[in-house]
């Protein structure tokens, strides 16, 4: 479960998840149209990247 970095809506289920080096990545797609990824090490949240038109993924929090 995560909150959208743009509208703040709570999203229950990730659309995709995978392992990236030492990170566990969970990708979410919000109803407002934003795609974002939460990065974890184990159960500990580290940071969020969101997709921005023309720039790719940028740090959101």
Over the stretch 6-24, which tens digit does the pLDDT of each residue have? 999 999 898 999 999 999 9
Asked if the model's pLDDT at residue 35 lies above 90, the reply is yes
The SS3 of residue 32 is coil
**Structural domain of residue 34, as residue ranges?**
2-59
Number of domains in the chain: 1
Nearest alpha carbon to residue 8 among 34, 26, 45: 34
Mean pLDDT within 22-49: 95
Q: What is the pLDDT of residue 1?
A: 81
Distances (CA, A) of 27 to 2, 6, 14, 41: 10, 15, 6, 15
């Amino acid at each position: 479960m995560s909150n959208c970095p743009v509208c703040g809506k709570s999203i229950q289920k990730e659309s995709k998840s995978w392992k990236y080096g030492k990170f566990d990545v969970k990708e979410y797609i919000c109803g407002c149209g934003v795609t974002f990824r939460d990065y974890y090490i184990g159960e500990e949240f580290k940071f969020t990247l969101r997709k921005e038109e023309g720039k790719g993924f940028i740090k959101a929090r």
